[in-house]
Structure formats: structure tokens, C-alpha cells
Amino acid sequence: MIDGFISIVAALVASRLNLLVKEFMFPSHVSSEQGFGYAASTLGVEAPLKLNMRLGEGSGCPIMFAIIDAACAIIRDMGTFEEANIGEEYLKKMHGGDVFFRKNQ
């Protein structure tokens, strides 16, 4: 997990030593530290969280791990339309109008 300025510089150095390591890097948040943007751009990554932090204790890391865990759970556990018995007729209704806010309600 890339979390802050020091870790993105370390990630940049690691990627220069072996290009494949970038495939295992996940940026967490945009650091307010000078140089973070340059290092991120050079590394070719964009941190998804913009929390205006510059504390240096890895605050963005547990937040990003929770997001990754949630994404993995969705990929692993989300049902298909077939499993949920959502048929073509229901999908046609959804595409034809707003099924959540009807005018009569």
C-alpha cells in the first residue's frame, strides 16, 4: 500500500529496480507533501482518496484496505440477475422509466 510521500518515493525506487512490482502497488491517498504529485505522476499512479492529510502515520492505509476489502466482497459475493430471479420484463421496466419514484406515489 502506498501511503504518503515516503512510501511513494520508495515505490518509485522499487519500480525502477523491477518494473513488475508496480502491479502489486496500491496508492491510498494524495499526500499534501511537496513532491508527492511528481512521484505519483512519474510512477503512473493516481491515489483515489483526497483527504488533505499530511500526518505521516499511515492514516490513509487502513481506509484504503477497507475499500479494497469491500470491492473484493462485491466481486466475490454479488449475485447475478439470474440468481436473484430478475427477468427480462423487470429489466425492460427499469430501462423504460424510473421504477423507484413513480408519479402516483
Active-site annotation, residues: 57
- Residue 48 is classified by DSSP as S
Cell of 42: 512519474
Beta-bridged to residue 2, according to DSSP, are 27
Q: Is the dihedral of CA 78, 80, 81, 83 positive or negative?
A: negative
